[in-house]
């Protein structure tokens, strides 16, 4: 399907028709290489012992990725991207470089988030030869802040070195795209000042393929024990846009459901459209349309429907997520 036609159809179904059964396939796809991580960051469900009990640890296999990519190709979505992010650190899966190759063979642009610990210069060189990709890595302007809320002792310098190499590589290789996210706001620091300070840790006048952001934190699916301010409800767009798949093929409503609280089908044993318009997906959309996210296990404590003031609802964010990707 043509990209703009796909965006128009999903916009119409979400905004105007408020449909629960959709005439188009998912626009964005995210599939999880693994739910295992090598860090336990303060803000991540990975640091919650209960989280690990909810899902057995596992790895996506090459055969299952090929199966999934074949099913995705068959329904011809307008979007040519694939996201390799859900739970866990993708580079823990030794097959991850092969996954990027398979995506590139299908003409896809790979997107993933990494903590950057394993993204060594050798790995960057390998990825850059494979095909186009964009990696998002969290960092901070201050070593102590970073190593307190994220990573382990020594990680700041290690990740800084890996980021410097990625920046250098992006200068000469058009396949390399990098987002560096400042996470200082989690420690209560001022994001705008910290972002300026963090940029100073890197060379100036670098490739436009390298971008810096302040990280917006969210409550995943209720990992953090706080009640959102429920004064203004907004309809979450994810179930009209994205299909997120866990390493074992289980489909969940969005990339926030890292605990797979709402399983809507299994893409390794069923077709994408059967799941997308299946009873479970329709009920999930129906509950959100009724303003009752609490009826969906995944959405129960999610802060997204009550985050109306955040930039994610703005035109620039929507353009970045739908058109530019």
- Residues near ligand SF4 (CB under 6 A): 221, 236, 238-239, 253-254, 256-257, 293, 296, 298-299, 302, 304-305
Between helix 121-130 and helix 96-105 the angle, nearest 10°, is 20
- Smallest separation, CB 257 to ligand SF4 (Å): 6
Largest Cα span, the chain: 52
- Smallest separation, CB 276 to ligand SF4 (Å): 14
CA distance from start to end of the chain: 16
Q: Which is nearer to ligand SF4, 25 or 293 (CB)?
A: 293
Rounded distance between C-alpha atoms, residue 127 and residue 322, angstroms: 24
Q: Which is nearer to ligand SF4, 166 or 244 (CB)?
A: 244
- Smallest separation, CB 303 to ligand SF4 (Å): 8
Q: Which is nearer to ligand SF4, 14 or 99 (CB)?
A: 14
- Smallest separation, CB 191 to ligand SF4 (Å): 22
Give yes or no for a contact between 142 and 134, defined as CB atoms under 8 angstroms apart: no
- Smallest separation, CB 261 to ligand SF4 (Å): 8
Rounded distance between C-alpha atoms, residue 259 and residue 74, angstroms: 29
CA distances in angstroms from 310 to 62, 220, 237, 244, 318, listed in the order given: 38, 15, 14, 23, 12
Task: Give SS3 for 177.
Answer: strand
Q: Which is nearer to ligand SF4, 180 or 302 (CB)?
A: 302
Q: Which is nearer to ligand SF4, 138 or 257 (CB)?
A: 257
Q: Which is nearer to ligand SF4, 132 or 237 (CB)?
A: 237
Burial class (CB in 10 A: 0-12, 13-18, 19+), 110: buried
Rounded distance between C-alpha atoms, residue 293 and residue 13, angstroms: 19
- Smallest separation, CB 244 to ligand SF4 (Å): 9
């Amino acid at each position: 399907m043509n990209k703009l036609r796909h965006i128009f159809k999903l916009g119409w179904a979400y905004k105007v028709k408020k449909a629960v059964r959709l005439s188009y396939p998912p626009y964005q796809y995210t599939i999880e290489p693994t739910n295992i991580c090598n860090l336990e960051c303060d803000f991540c469900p990975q640091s919650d012992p209960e989280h690990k009990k909810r899902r057995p640890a596992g790895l996506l296999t090459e055969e299952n990725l090929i199966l999934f990519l074949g099913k995705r190709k068959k329904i011809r979505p307008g979007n040519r991207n694939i996201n390799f992010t859900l739970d866990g650190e993708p580079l823990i899966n030794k097959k991850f470089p092969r996954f990027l190759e398979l995506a590139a063979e299908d003409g896809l642009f790979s997107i993933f988030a990494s903590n950057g610990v394993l993204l060594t210069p050798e790995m960057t060189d390998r990825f850059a030869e494979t095909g186009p990709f964009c990696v998002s890595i969290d960092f901070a302007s201050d070593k102590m802040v970073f190593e307190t809320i994220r990573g382990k002792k020594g990680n700041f310098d290690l990740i800084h070195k890996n980021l410097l190499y990625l920046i250098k590589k992006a200068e000469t290789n058009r396949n390399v795209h990098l987002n560096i996210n400042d996470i200082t706001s989690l420690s209560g620091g001022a994001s705008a000042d910290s972002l300026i300070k963090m940029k100073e840790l890197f060379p100036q006048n670098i490739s436009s393929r390298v971008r810096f952001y302040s990280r917006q934190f969210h409550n995943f699916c209720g990992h953090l024990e706080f009640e959102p301010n429920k004064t203004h409800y907004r309809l979450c767009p994810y179930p009209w846009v994205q299909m997120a798949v866990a390493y074992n093929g289980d489909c969940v409503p969005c990339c926030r459901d890292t605990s797979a609280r709402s399983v809507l089908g299994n893409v390794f044993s069923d077709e994408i459209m059967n799941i997308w318009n299946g009873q479970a997906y329709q009920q999930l959309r129906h509950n959100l349309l009724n303003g009752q996210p609490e009826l969906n296990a995944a959405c129960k404590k999610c802060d997204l429907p009550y985050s109306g003031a955040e930039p994610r609802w703005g035109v620039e964010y929507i353009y970045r997520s739908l058109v530019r990707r």
